[in-house]
Each structure stands twice: as C-alpha cells, then as structure tokens.
Structure 1
C-alpha cells in the first residue's frame, strides 16, 4: 500500500537559472552534512516535544521508525529498503546504535 504524497511547490520555481551564482547557490543549498545536522536537530526537538506532551519513548520511537521507513519506501522502493533493513539486526547487535555501553 503506497500513500500518495502531495506535490510540493518549489520555493525556487519563479527564479531563472541565470539568476544563480555559485556563492548564492551554495548559500541556498546546505551541504549534506549540514542537512543531516539540521534534520537531526529538528527531529530531536520534535521527539522531546512528544515526550513532554505525554507520549512514551517507545511509542515515539515506533512512530519515528514508521515515518522513516514509509518515506524511504516512497523514495527508494520496497525492495531497496527491505535489503537495507536485512542488515539492521546485525548492526544493532554489534552496538552501532548503542549510545551508552553496559558491561556484563
């Protein structure tokens, strides 16, 4: 079941390509690292807001995973996301997502 996303109007649709200079384009389009940091900051803020509103951490996590996987499937397709997800169990077991290590 694939959900249809509304078409987003580009903020740049009224600008002509000739209007851009390299410096202006760099200012408008952050690097991938800057985009990742921005996205993470915004997600962590939303996560904290959900917790403060009374949602439990496991419910917020489940909702975040659902949103992430559904968007990835929408962009990359079910097979590509399924292939990526096959490796998640091993990555989790090897501590890739563990923030605080516990010693047994």
Structure 2
C-alpha cells in the first residue's frame, strides 16, 4: 500500500519543475520513483526501430523521486495518512481529514 498511486494528481515540490502539477502515469515501487505527465521532460535520441521507423529526437517524461511530489486533494497539496474504515485500509488527507479512495 503506497501513498501515491497511478492516476493521482500530484504537485512537484522540488527540482526544476517545482510547483507544476500533473497526473501520475507510472509508479516504480522498487526505485521509489514516479512518472508525472508533462513534467521533468528530457530529450532522448532514438534509433529507427520496428515501432518507431523514423527515429530521431523524442521528448519524454523522466522519473522523479517519490519524495519530491505531494498528493493534490481538492487542488491543495497534502500529506497522506492511513486509517482503517469498515475493515478496509484507506488513504486519508492530513490537511482535511477527507478519505481519498
């Protein structure tokens, strides 16, 4: 059970894209990193392949450490806690006390 999951809206709190917001595309639990839509863009030089016939320079998102993002609840960045409600473990926004999922 992790505090940030795929399809969550997050705010970046550190690095070159500080204060940007976006949707989480992927979470890597082994490396503790996330991919955020439209943030931490890098240019990658790709060779022509079966899937990408032309090759060339591609702009894509790079991974950000999970500690550098905060969950957005109602447009406000908040820390995340866990509570047991009706026998289920749920995420709770620390700022408002609201159940997230």
| TM-score, structure 2 as length reference | 0.20
Higher RCO, 1 or 2 (CA under 8 Å, sep at least 6)?
Answer: 2
Richer in strand (by share): 2
| TM-score, structure 1 as length reference | 0.20
